Amino acid sequence: VTSSLLQMQARRFADPNVKTAFQETQDRLRSISLIHDLLYRKEQDGMIDLRDYLGRLLQELSATYGASARGIAVDLDAERIEIDLDRGPPLALAVTEAIINAFKHAFEPGQGGRISVSARRRDEQIEIVVRDTGRGVSGGTENDSSLGMKLIRAFAAQLGGSFSLESDRGAVFRLTIPA
């Protein structure tokens, strides 16, 4: 309902920057609603299967940002990892920001490429990596003062984890949180 209201409001504006801001807010809301949808479908004492969640999130964002039409392949390589509901929304929002950033900034028009998402347990940590084959980032972080980067930083701190953004034949976003 909230997403539909935002979509109706966005239609009132001609400015593409305003429309983009509404779309980004809708994407953030969608990432949270996916978590709740997974909980309602499964009775797992408030646990979310991260692999299922990331798969659905990638599918939704790929459709929203026209991955196929733009020649952008998207893939997921994730272990079955369960996370509790309290950590679900901030984790979902941080990963959503990283994926949206790749769709919006990684590829030149008509270029195409690949966005890969992985989730693994590493010792007592969970590591989620969003990698693209686009232009990468200069100076380590792309627009460090952007709302997306501020949100990622806040969500990583809320989860007791850390994140990094680097260039390695494209941009590599890495979020590490306690298991």
Inter-residue contact 164 to 125 (CB < 8 Å): no
Report helix, strand or coil for 147. helix
Mean predicted confidence (pLDDT) in 108-131: 95
Which of 26-30, 75-79, 113-117, 121-125 has the least mean pLDDT?
Answer: 26-30
% of the chain residues with pLDDT over 70: 88
pLDDT category at 47 given cuts 50, 70, 90 is confident
% of the chain residues with pLDDT over 90: 45
pLDDT tens for each residue of 75-94: 999 999 998 878 888 898 89
Angstrom distance (rounded) from CA 105 to CA 136: 9
Angstrom distance (rounded) from CA 98 to CA 140: 14
Angstrom distance (rounded) from CA 3 to CA 122: 36
Instruction: Tell me what pLDDT residue 140 has.
Output: 47
6 pLDDT more than 80: no
pTM recorded for the entire structure: 0.78
